[in-house]
Amino acid sequence: MNSNDISSSRRKLLQGAAVTVAAAAAAPVFAQSASGSNTAGTATAAPLADPKKLYPQPPFQKQSQPWPGLAGKMEPQPDHGEQSYRGSGRLAGRKALITGGDSGIGRAAAIAYAREGADVAIGYLPDEEPDAQEVLELIRAEGRKAVAVPGDIRDEAFCRQMVENTVKELGGLDILVNNAARQQSHASIMDISTEQFDWTVKTNLYAMFWITKAALPHLPQGAAIINTSSVVTYSAPDNLLDYSMTKAGITTFSKSLAKQLIEKGIRVNVVAPGPFWTPLQVSGGQTQENLETFGGDTPYKRPGQPAEIAPLFVTLASTEASYVTGQVFAATGGNGLP
């Protein structure tokens, strides 16, 4: 192959990766067969449809759960891609750790990773065991190894142990998704106690720092770190002061870390969701008034479903995104942020 052929092939590869990243922000792009089979190479595209009408729109009924909430008790229940996501081997042989992998966006990523051929460990709070067991069963149904790592990531020792358990059980680690978060609505800074502030900051920032440090010695060249931030980094609501602060911190942390780790051949990127229908919202993350109209202020007139953002996590973990690091990718329902 001559130099012109090489240049042409490289351009096609990068163009393909760019198209894939852009398309991933759209609605679910893989349709699963009626039988649930996951044979690579036989996926068929979902039929075209108006994305505004793919999922429920507000008003939603009032509902409340104690922290941290369970997806299985939400009405309507979120779609994590259980029936819609179909893989094609893009992560075959990979080994992933996803915090907050029991529900919401973390659950959608775990399902997608398994269907793309990866073994997956999920971290979660013990109170989330019912949701976690469903995810573990879905991972195993794809013939992949599933590892449960329950515990509280506010504990530095547990964060280290979670990584060590993952590496031991999976035989390595090459995808790290720092996704677990705490979100609580407070009308005023005066309503946020030091204990509550500490809880949010340790869950959202300290844990990411501890887990990433513990994971780095195990990550090979070509590994990927994906951190979940939020659109509130760029447009912070008045009732999510401490949460918004931590999400902005995640974004900045990731951009700086990306510059450090590219020397080691490790990529770091950020996914910044807009309003997504997850247990965060019904377990104190929104007021009841906001919950009823949740997502209605977007051009889509509805919140996103976790299944709609999973393809972003797949693309950023895959080798197709080899030239992508230090970037923020959003799915905001048309609000144009970031």
Taking the C-alpha atoms of residue 49 and residue 26, their distance in angstroms, rounded to an integer, is: 12
Residues 246, 204: contact at Cβ < 8 Å? yes
Strand partners, 149: 123
**Which amino acid is it at 284?**
G
Which backbone phi and psi does 124 adopt, to 5 degrees? -165, 165
Q: Which candidate in 55, 113, 124, 243 is catalytic?
A: 243
User: For the packed helices 194-201 and 241-261, what is the interaxial angle rounded to 10 degrees?
Assistant: 30
Nearest to 124 by CA among 105, 152, 147, 146: 152
Burial of 35 per CB tally in 10 Å (0-12, 13-18, 19+): exposed
Our answer to whether residue 113 is catalytic in this structure is no
Supply 37's token pair.
Answer: 């089979």
Using an 8 Å Cβ cutoff, are 221 and 265 in contact?
A: yes
Q: How far is CA 86 from CA 114, 177, 191, 219, 287, in A?
A: 10, 20, 44, 27, 35
Q: Any idea which residues carry the catalytic annotation?
A: 243
